[in-house]
Amino acid sequence: MNFRTVVFLTVAAIASVIVANSGWADEERDAANDTTKATSTEFDPWGAPHLRWPDPLTSHLGNEETYYHWTRVDRRALLAEPTEARPLSVWVGGDSLAGGASLGFRILVRNEDRWIFTEDVKKSTGVVSDWYFDWVDYLRDEIADGPYDVVVLSIGGNDWQGFRSGPSEKGGTEWVEKYQSRITEMLTVLDRPGRLVVWVGLPHFRIPFMVPLPDAVNPISRRVFENGYRSEWVDAASIVSPDGVWAKHISDDDGVEIEVRTDDGTHYQSNGARLITAAVVSVIEGRSG
C-alpha cells in the first residue's frame, strides 16, 4: 500500500468519526430541546409577566411607594400580610397609657408568631411637656429609621396642662393649634413608605381634673391621623368607655361583664388592654394584603 492510499484511508476514517460525533451531538441537542419544551410547558416565567412585574410605562418604576405596593399580594395594601414566615415588626410606645396596648401585644405574641413586638413606655411623658421629654426628638433620633412595619403611639394622659413656653390656656385655640402641630410633626417624622403609624386615642377618665382631657385632645389626634395616607386612629374611648364616661366594667360581645380599667381611674386592666390591642390589630390587618 503506497503512501497516498494510507493518507486517503486515514482521512476517510477521521471524517467518519466526525460525522458520527456530529450525529450524536445533534441527537443530544434535540433531546435537550425536547426537555426545554417540556419544562417550559410546565413553567414559563414570562407566560404572564403582568402578574410578576409592573408595567414599566404605567407603574412609575423608581417610585418607592410603588415598589412597596408591588411586593404585596393584592398590589394595593400598605403592609404585607403578617405570617409566621414573615412577621410584622410592631413598635408600641408612649406614656403609661401605652402600657395598655403594650400589655395586649405582650399577651398576643405568646400565642402568635405573626408579630415581632417592641415595647417602649416612658411614664409621665406627654405631647405638651416636651421640656420633660421631647417625643418628637426621640422618635426622630431613635425610632423613625428603625426596622418597624407598624408604629403605635399612645400619648396624652398627662397633657391637661399649658405649654411651658405658651400657650397656657388648656384647650384654647392657640393651645389646640400647638398641640396639633406637635402631633403632626410626630407623624411626619415617622412616616415611611411601607409603614403604618397608629395613634390610640385617650379613653375617658374618672379623676375629675382629667375628665375634660379626652374631649379636648381626641378630636385633634383623630383629625391628624385619620387624614394621613399611611396612618390610622383607634378610638379607645368607644371601646372601654362606650357610654362616654369612665367605666370600670363593660359587657363583652357575649354580654358577660368584664373589668377593663384599674381602680386608679386612668389605666387599662388586662381585659381592656386586650380590647385595645385587638382594635390595633384589626387596623393593621385592614391595611395588609
pLDDT digits (tens, 9 = 90+) for 109-123: 888 999 999 999 999
List pLDDT tens digits, range 82-103.
Answer: 999 999 999 999 999 998 888 8
Q: Which residue has the cell 380599667?
A: 261
CA 14 to CA 19: how far, in whole Å?
A: 9
C-alpha cell at 28: 443530544
| Spatial distance between the Cα atoms of 33 and 73, rounded to a whole number of angstroms | 34
pLDDT average, residue stretch 226-249:
95
d(CA 80, CA 271): 28
Name 139's Cβ contacts closer than 8 Å, sequence gap at least 6: 186, 189, 190
pTM value?
0.80
* The pLDDT value given to residue 61: 60
Q: What is the CATH number of domain 81-286?
A: 3.40.50.1110
Give the pLDDT confidence of 17-66 residue by residue, as tens digits: 444 444 434 444 444 444 434 343 454 544 554 445 556 566 566 678 88
Q: What is the pLDDT of residues 145-167, one digit of tens each?
A: 999 999 999 999 999 999 998 89
- DSSP code, position 261: B
* All structural domains of the chain with their residue ranges: 3-44, 81-286
Contact 260, 247 (CB under 8 A): yes
